[in-house]
């Protein structure tokens, strides 16, 4: 059987990883500044993470959500405390798309409405409603098309004011747009969404799938603006590679049996991984580390002369060049052994390393990046 060929692949086979270092099957070493799509939060193969998962596996790996699963309660307790939403309720699932799908459903159930407002350059996942709310026609199948989603220009408060009505069940926005090229919502835009959602009885959904879990230098990126969304979705960094995702649900939204559900969500192993991630984020003070090291890095990158713009918060960084950056990324990988990420904006390089990245790795990237830029005809 062949694999369904949907991914453009680098001809590299990674067989081992530790912290921010990867090794391929020929023993070549790489620096991981992408974390496999922003997934690696506490570094590859963190000892506490390995220990927790191995210990759990020795006890029980899986049972369904028809029994009490104690690690779910431990996870909810630890997450609530660390993220600053102790009074919210936790629904566990498996991926970012599934988290957003459930958040949108929940908003619709709660309001008994069906119109959703999303924004240009958004990415919320590839399933049914999540993909319909994603601003990329090329990944929306005819069956996903729906008149229920309205796209508005990102950060445009006037457009939002005009579009809001009693028919809107939810407004969904990313804490920081990731796939769209690292675009930060203004404080005033997020406050406007919050105010209009309150005024019209709509649900404010914050997609923190990529920007959450400390990546921005706060636990959630929206916490820079002081807003309090009713639904917050998480995934990526939550499990450091183990598939686990969640919806954080405000107390005003009441649960009812069978309203939402999943077979695998919240299984023992996923909880063990997610608890280990929170333990490490807390013990190693990774949110503070991310804020400091990330913001210093952003300032350093801003000094580079061949760079058009640097956007970001903490360790969620987009470096926009004046031209498409595919060749630059390729040279960074092949000549310097550094993994970086792309974005739907072809000129943007995304930097999304593990939150415990060290300064010498950042210095190594800066040196390589300057070298590649200086030797590249396209950017100048």
Ligand X SMILES: Cc1ncc(COP(=O)(O)O)c(C=O)c1O
Give the DSSP per-residue string, 235-280: -GGGTTTS--EEEEE-TTSPP-TTSS--SSTT-HHHHHHHHHHHHH
C-beta closer to ligand X: residue 96 or 318: 96
Number of residue whose CB is nearest ligand X = 96
- In the complex, what is the shortest distance from the CB of residue 125 to ligand X, in angstroms, rounded to a whole number? 4
Which chain residues interact with ligand X by CB under 6 A?
Answer: 37, 95-97, 100, 123-125, 174, 178-179, 207, 209-210, 235
Question: Do the beta carbons of residue 31 and residue 44 sit within 8 Å?
Answer: no
Give the nearer residue to ligand X in terms of CB position, either 329 or 331. 329
Nearer to ligand X, 235 or 328 (CB): 235
What lies within 8 Å, CB to CB, of 285 at 6+ separation is none
246 contacts 233 by C-beta, under 8 angstroms: yes
Q: What is d(CA 129, CA 119) in angstroms, rounded to the nearest whole number?
A: 14
Nearer to ligand X, 121 or 329 (CB): 121
* Closer residue to ligand X (CB): 349 or 372: 349
Q: Please list the residues that pair with 205 across neighbouring strands.
A: 172, 231
Q: How far from 28 is each of 16, 65, 261, 283, 347, CA to CA, in Å? A: 10, 43, 43, 32, 28
Nearer to ligand X, 194 or 207 (CB): 207
In the complex, the smallest distance separating the C-beta of residue 146 from ligand X, rounded to whole angstroms, is 18
CB 37, CB 341: distance < 8 Å: yes
CB 130, min distance to ligand X, A: 7
Tell me the closest approach of the beta carbon of residue 343 to ligand X, in angstroms.
Answer: 10
Polymer length of the chain:
380
- For ligand X, the closer CB: 135 or 207: 207
What are 348's strand-pairing partners? 320
Q: C-beta of 155: minimal distance to ligand X in Å?
A: 16
Min separation Cβ 28 and ligand X, Å: 27
Least Å from the CB of residue 262 to ligand X? 13
Q: Which long-range contacts (CB under 8 A, 24 or more apart) does 307-311 make?
A: 307/373, 308/347, 311/181, 311/182, 311/183, 311/184
Q: What gap in Å lies between CA 53 and CA 34, rounded to an integer?
A: 23
| Spatial separation of the C-alpha atoms in residues 30 and 32, rounded to whole Å | 6
Taking each helix axis from N to C end, the angle separating 326-336 and 359-374, rounded to the nearest 10 degrees, works out to: 120
């Amino acid at each position: 059987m062949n694999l369904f060929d949907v991914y453009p692949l680098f001809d590299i086979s990674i067989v081992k990883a530790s912290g921010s270092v990867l090794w391929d099957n020929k023993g070549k070493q790489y620096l991981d500044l992408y974390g496999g799509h922003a997934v690696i939060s506490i570094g590859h193969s963190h000892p506490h993470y390995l220990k927790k998962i191995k210990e759990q596996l020795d006890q029980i790996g899986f049972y369904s959500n028809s029994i009490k699963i104690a690690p779910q309660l431990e996870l909810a307790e630890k997450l609530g405390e660390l993220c600053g939403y102790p009074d919210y309720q936790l629904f566990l699932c498996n991926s970012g798309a599934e988290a957003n799908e459930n958040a949108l459903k929940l908003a619709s159930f709660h309001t008994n409405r069906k119109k959703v407002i999303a924004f240009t350059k958004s990415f919320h996942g590839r399933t049914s409603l999540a993909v319909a709310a994603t601003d990329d026609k090329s990944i929306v199948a005819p069956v996903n098309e729906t008149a229920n989603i309205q796209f508005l220009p990102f950060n445009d408060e006037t457009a939002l004011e005009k579009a809001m009505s009693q028919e809107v069940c939810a407004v969904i926005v990313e804490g920081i747009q990731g796939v769209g090229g690292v675009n930060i919502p203004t404080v005033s835009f997020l406050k406007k969404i919050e105010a209009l959602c309150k005024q019209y009885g709509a649900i404010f959904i914050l997609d923190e799938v990529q920007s959450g879990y400390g990546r921005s230098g706060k636990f959630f990126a929206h916490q820079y603006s002081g807003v309090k969304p009713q639904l917050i979705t998480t995934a990526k960094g939550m499990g450091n590679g183990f598939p686990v995702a969640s919806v954080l649900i405000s107390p005003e939204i009441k649960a009812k049996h069978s309203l939402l559900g999943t077979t695998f969500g919240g299984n023992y192993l996923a909880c063990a991984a997610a608890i280990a991630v929170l333990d490490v984020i807390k013990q190693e003070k990774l949110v503070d580390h991310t804020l400091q090291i990330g913001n210093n890095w952003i300032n350093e990158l801003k000094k580079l002369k061949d760079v058009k713009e640097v956007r970001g918060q903490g360790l969620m960084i987009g470096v926009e060049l004046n031209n498409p950056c595919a060749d630059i990324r390729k040279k960074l990988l092949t000549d310097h052994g550094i993994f970086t990420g792309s974005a739907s904006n072809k000129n943007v390089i995304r930097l999304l390393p593990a939150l415990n990245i060290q300064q010498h790795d950042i210095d190594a990237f800066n040196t390589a990046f300057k070298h590649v830029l200086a030797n590249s005809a396209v950017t100048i």
